Amino acid sequence: MKVWTDGAEAGLLDRFENRGSTFLYLPGGPPARAVSVTMPMRLPSWDVRFGLPPIFEMNLPEGVLRERLRLAFAKATGTFDEFDLLGIVGRSQVGRIRYTGDKEQLHEDVPFQSVDEILAQRRDGGLFRYLLDKFAPSSGISGVQPKILVRDDRALGRTTSRVSESHRGATHIVKFWEQNEYPQLAANEYFCLKVAEKCRLEVPPFRLAEDALALVIDRFDLRPDGTYRGFEDFCVLNARRTDEKYRGSYETSIMRRFAQFANYSNVGEDLERLFTLIAVNCALRNGDAHLKNFGIVYDDVEGEARLAPVYDLVTTTAYLPKDSMALTLNGTTKWATTRELQRLGETRMGGSPARVREILERIDAAIVATTEEVRAYIKEHPSFAGIGNRMLQQWEQGAALSLRAA
Ligand SMILES: Nc1ncnc2c1ncn2[C@@H]1O[C@H](COP(=O)(O)OP(=O)(O)O)[C@@H](O)[C@H]1O
Ligand SMILES: [Mg+2]
């Protein structure tokens, strides 16, 4: 199949031997057309023996969405592998890479879907089954939880100019949850993102549906002119496959890797954000802060890369009380203590002890302020009381262990 970057042909991707793949750049293309900061333009092909190179595997649906697509499309092809999946969702992806058949032209045309209609949805679940079926083939987005990409240019919460009239690509991510597995996941994530916002981290505009059945988030990789910025997650930066997303440490696989790829003279600013985000994850008891839940964004693959805005923050211990960190810190996945975070901040972010303490205190204050909002929300929405109160307990424990002096 053809691989496109920024709307131009970059190269050809093909199956290789039994289970691998090979990617060849079109000769003579400009270096700015490279598919990844980890795969510069070159004449020899990029080959892997199993599956796809991480940048091409990055946005493949996992979980519910993948299963939907398999059920809908496997019949026609008999088998169903990563190539088949890429062939289906390749035209509409997070980031700047697209895929088509080798004779096809690129046209990204995601159906319109009113975001307001999703937000006003009442409990019955019918809409989500319908949406999942309709939007699955244009949802080149990873993750285990059910989610889709939709297009509603009018519903963007951005302050700058509107996306151009002719724009047909996706503008929003809609995340649902499975009633029986992770009840109230959307509201859980909503309030965790509120904490991040109060820590002055960059969070894209996000809204919770009236009945808390869905969370709708603006795409942070969409530019005002309707084109898309580059995005790469830390599986790619660490040359790991998706099924290795829980392998690595916050020190090396996140902090050091970021410094290595930032290509940005003022990297200290983003390292501080990254450290803050890791500490927020500890305090909120998010056991899912793995390699795919951190990313970089850039306008030019050869230029500077910035830390991607925050996404996928959840108090996982509200469902799994024994959950621990997704990656190691100081050699263990046990929830980090204030001292351990203090050391991470001083060594990897290069902050003074006072500066690091200030950051941890700011997070503590953000949690305290959001706790009030959660309490108010529980009053209005008694169905959230069970999970909501568990979250607050977890935040209290998390803040005590990870943010406050012993
Ligand atoms: N606001 C956003 N804009 C663009 N891409 C996003 C945004 N939020 C998440 N993503 C991408 O979508 C993927 C899945 O979203 P995520 O919230 O992590 O879902 P899950 O809870 O299923 O892991 C992320 O790994 C990231 O690549
Ligand atoms: Mg995720």
- Which residue of 67, 142, 216, 307 sits with most ligand 1 atoms within 8 Å of its CB, as the best mutation to test the pocket? 142
Name the closest ligand to CA 312.
1
Give pLDDT, residue 77.
67
Q: Which of 8, 45, 14 is nearest to 30 (CA)?
A: 8
**Residue with the nearest Cα to atom 13 of ligand 1?**
142
Which ligand has the nearest atom to the CA of 182? 1
**What pLDDT score does 396 carry?**
98
Contacts of 308 (CB under 8 A, 6+ apart): 220, 231, 294, 295, 296, 297
Sheet (strand 172-175) strand order: 147-150, 172-175, 215-218, 206-208
Q: Is the pLDDT of residue 51 over 60?
A: yes
Burial of 140 (0-12, 13-18, 19+ CB in 10 A): buried
pLDDT 10s digits, 91-145: 999 999 999 999 999 998 999 999 999 999 876 668 888 999 999 999 999 999 9
Closest by Cα among 371, 362, 353 to 403: 362
Q: Which ligand 1 atom is the nearest neighbour of the CA of 63?
A: 22
pLDDT in tens, 62-75: 999 999 999 988 87
Measured in angstroms, how far is the CA atom of residue 344 from the centroid of ligand 2?
A: 23
Range 353-365 average pLDDT: 98
Whole-number percent of the chain with pLDDT over 90: 88
**The pLDDT value given to residue 159:** 54
pLDDT for residue 161? 58
Ligand 1 proximity of 312 Cβ (cutoff 6 Å): yes
pLDDT at 78 over 60: yes
In tens, the pLDDT along 131-146 reads 999 999 999 999 999 9
Domain at 230-402, CATH from 2.60.40, 3.40.50, 3.30.43, 1.10.1070: 1.10.1070
384 Cβ closer than 6 Å to some ligand 1 atom = no
Average pLDDT of the chain is 95
Residue type, 331: G
Residue-wise pLDDT for 310-337, tens only, equals 999 999 999 999 999 999 999 999 999 9
Distance between CA atoms of 278 and 249, rounded to whole angstroms? 11
Report which ligand 1 atom has the smallest distance to the Cα of 58. Answer: 27
SS3 labels along the chain: CEEEECCEEEEEEEEECCCEEEEEECCCCCHHHCCECCECCCCCCEEECCCCCHHHHCCCCCHHHHHHHHHHHHHHHCCCCHHHHHHHHCCCECCCEEEECCCCCCCCCCCECCHHHHHCCCCCCHHHHHHHHHHHHHCECCCCCCEEEEECHHHCCCCCCCCCCCCCCCCEEEECCCCCCCCCHHHHHHHHHHHHHHCCCCCCCEEECCCCCCEEEECCCECCCCCECEEEEHHHHCCCCHHHCCCCEHHHHHHHHHHHHHCCCCHHHHHHHHHHHHHHHHHCCCCCCCHHHCEEEECCCCCCEEECCCCCCCCHHHCCCCCCCCCEECCECCCCCHHHHHHHHHHHHCCCHHHHHHHHHHHHHHHHHHHHHHHHHHHHCHHHHHHHHHHHHHHHHHHHHHCCCC
Q: What are phi and psi of 292, to 5 degrees?
A: -85, -5
In this predicted model, what pLDDT tens digit does every residue of 4-47 receive, in sequence order? 999 999 999 999 998 999 999 999 999 999 999 999 999 999 99
pLDDT in tens, 210-226: 999 999 999 999 999 99
Q: pLDDT tens digits for 263-296?
A: 998 999 999 999 999 999 999 999 999 999 999 9
Q: Is 61 in the pocket of ligand 1 (CB under 6 A)?
A: no
Q: Which ligand is in closest contact with the Cα of 316?
A: 1
Question: Which atom of ligand 1 is the closest one to the Cα of 204?
Answer: 1
Q: Decide: 11 and 26 in contact? Cβ < 8 Å.
A: yes
CA distances in angstroms from 12 to 25, 51, 102, listed in the order given:
7, 15, 8
Tell me, using a 6 A CB cutoff, whether residue 294 lines ligand 1. Answer: no
Q: Which of 55, 141, 151, 298 to mutate to test the pocket of ligand 1 (most atoms within 8 A of CB)?
A: 141
For residue 160, pLDDT beyond 70: no
Q: Which residue lies with its CA nearest to atom 20 of ligand 1?
A: 143
Find the 293 Cα to ligand 2 centroid distance in Å: 5
Kindly indicate the confidence band of residue 157, based on its pLDDT and cuts at 50, 70 and 90.
Answer: confident
Which of 47-51, 102-106, 159-163, 382-386 has the least mean pLDDT? Answer: 159-163
Which residues are within 8 A (CB) of 19 and not within 5 positions of it... i.e. 6 or more apart?
49, 50, 51
Q: What are phi and psi of 172, to 5 degrees?
A: -135, 155
Tens digits of residue pLDDT in 277-286: 999 999 999 9
Ligand sitting nearest the alpha carbon of 186: 1
